[in-house]
Amino acid sequence: MPELKNDRLLKALARQPVDMTPVWIMRQAGRYLPEYRATRERAGSFMKLCKTPELACEVTLQPIERFPLDAAIIFSDILTIPDAMGLGLNFIESKGPVFARPLQREAQIKGLEVPDPARLQYVYEAISLVKHELADRVPLIGFCGSPWTLAAYMIEGESSPGFPRIMQMMQENPALLHNLLDILAKSVTAHLEAQIQAGADVMMLFDTWGGLLDNEKYREFSLNYAHQIIARLRHNHYNKRKPPFILFTKGGSRFIDEMVESGCDALGLDWEISLAEARHRARSKVALQGNMHPACLLESPEVIRQEVAKVLASFGQGEGHVFNLGHGITPDVPPEHVAVLVEAVHELSQPYHQKG
């Protein structure tokens, strides 16, 4: 496999020395970019954009062409698996993801199977196209939603405060929920494996709604399945290329002690915990990714630089930090502010990596 021209991200995830802290941004290919909005309009719908490999490749590369970011992330969605299972995913403006056929009966759940990889081939084709166009400039991140997060949307049918239906199932029929989560864990493993085979260099699992759970339930219904996915991928890649794995649980700062034992290489962190505390609790077992509040990008360039400096200082000297936001960038952020952020990270982080 050819060497990457910029491998800062891979080195940071392995907690190896780098010249400066690498930076990428969750949802970096998105609505804040005018070129993305133009491509999205050309596509006609969000799902058409996702499912057309040439267009998904185009928008994946847009932020890489505009900013000196240290990684690309494939343009896709965390909910591609339930869509491939036949639930009928659509995105409604100002409402978000909606399933035409949510899981409302036990028979539906018991009838689910790991989807045919051909139904997700558009993702793998997009990855292959992006890898070719990147020409080894920076690594490419592949991703998926966690089983718990996928199940929350599949049962509710859409985003809903607190996701009451899955919470009710967890209390009243935990065996059925575990049945669903087991199928989803196998599906996620297969999907991530196929992304690796297509050329993705890093894997990331988005556990967007893990923070809804208490510690005990988080271990049982979320982390348990993340652990299975990572273990299966590690087994599949024994004596082969082992892409690093990032685990991100929004609202999961209270689970850090358990998350570091999942087998992941890095924890993605939101803004609810300082990097200093997270680093102490992680005990040098994993790298850390994060964790500036996305709203800071709406401030002036001077304030953005100050916030970057605070995040870097919170992690401190040494290796194992990937700079990112604590969640996805919002559509109202001026692109020029992202340029300020990336430049500030690269400039201000250099003293933290100098020896002596």
Domain containing 300 — which CATH number? 3.20.20.210
Say yes or no to pLDDT of 112 above 70.
yes
| pLDDT of res. 94 | 73
Which residues have a Cβ under 8 Å from the Cβ of 43 and sit 6 or more positions away? Answer: 49, 52, 55
Task: Provide the percentage of residues in the chain whose pLDDT is more than 90.
Answer: 93
pLDDT tens-digit series, residues 41-74? 999 999 999 999 999 999 999 999 999 999 999 9
12 located within any domain = yes
Domain count, the chain: 1
Residue linked to tokens 């405060």 = 161
Task: Provide the percentage of residues in the chain whose pLDDT is more than 70.
Answer: 98
Binding residues for substrate: 27-31, 77, 153, 208, 327
Which residues have a Cβ under 8 Å from the Cβ of 314 and sit 6 or more positions away? Answer: 274, 275, 276
Q: How confident is the model at residue 120 (pLDDT cuts 50, 70, 90)?
A: very high
Say yes or no to pLDDT of 182 above 90.
yes
* Nearest CA among 166, 170, 73 for reference residue 123: 73
The two structure tokens encoding residue 351:
């003293």
173 located within any domain = yes
d(CA 115, CA 95): 26
Mean pLDDT computed over 161-188? 97
Say yes or no to pLDDT of 170 above 90.
yes
| pLDDT of res. 39 | 98
3 located within any domain = no
Q: How confident is the model at residue 239 (pLDDT cuts 50, 70, 90)?
A: low
d(CA 40, CA 23): 25
CB atoms within 10 A of CB 92: 10
Binding residues: 27-31, 77, 153, 208, 327
d(CA 173, CA 103): 14
Q: Which residues pair with 97 in a beta bridge?
A: 91
Task: Report, as residue numbers or ranges, the catalytic residues.
Answer: 27, 31, 40, 77, 153
| pLDDT of res. 354 | 87
Which residues have a Cβ under 8 Å from the Cβ of 13 and sit 6 or more positions away? Answer: 202, 244, 246, 265, 266, 287, 320, 322
Say yes or no to pLDDT of 356 above 70.
no
272 located within any domain = yes
**Containing H/E element for 325?**
strand 321-325
In whole numbers, what is the pLDDT of the chain averaged over residues?
Answer: 95
Mean pLDDT computed over 123-143? 98
Mean pLDDT computed over 236-255? 86
* Nearest CA among 202, 237, 235, 207 for reference residue 222: 207
**Containing H/E element for 202?**
strand 202-207
Say yes or no to pLDDT of 35 above 80.
yes
Q: Domain of residue 224: give its range.
A: 8-353
Mean pLDDT computed over 325-333? 97
Tell me whether residue 240 is exposed, middle or buried, using C-beta atoms within 10 angstroms of its C-beta: 0 to 12, 13 to 18, 19 or more: exposed
Mean pLDDT computed over 288-314? 98
Say yes or no to pLDDT of 130 above 70.
yes
| pLDDT of res. 236 | 80
| pLDDT of res. 238 | 59
193 located within any domain = yes
Say yes or no to pLDDT of 314 above 90.
yes
- Polymer length in residues for the chain: 356
* Nearest CA among 109, 246, 89 for reference residue 176: 109
pLDDT tens-digit series, residues 183-236? 999 999 999 999 999 999 999 999 999 999 999 999 999 999 999 999 999 888
191 located within any domain = yes
Q: Would you give the end-to-end CA distance of the chain in angstroms?
A: 34
Q: Is residue 127 a contact partner of residue 194, using CB atoms and an 8 Å limit?
A: no
| pLDDT of res. 256 | 96
| pLDDT of res. 92 | 85
Which residues have a Cβ under 8 Å from the Cβ of 206 and sit 6 or more positions away? Answer: 78, 143, 144, 145, 146, 149, 248
Which residues have a Cβ under 8 Å from the Cβ of 45 and sit 6 or more positions away? Answer: 91
Q: How confident is the model at residue 1 (pLDDT cuts 50, 70, 90)?
A: low
CA distances from 183 to 114, 128, 158, 174, 310 (A): 6, 27, 20, 14, 42
Q: What is the DSSP string of 252-308?
A: -GGGHHHHTTSS-SEEE--TTS-HHHHHHHHTTSSEEEEEE-GGGGGS-HHHHHHHH
107 located within any domain = yes
DSSP 2: P
pLDDT tens-digit series, residues 74-105? 999 999 999 999 999 999 877 789 999 999 99
142 located within any domain = yes
Mean pLDDT computed over 237-243? 71
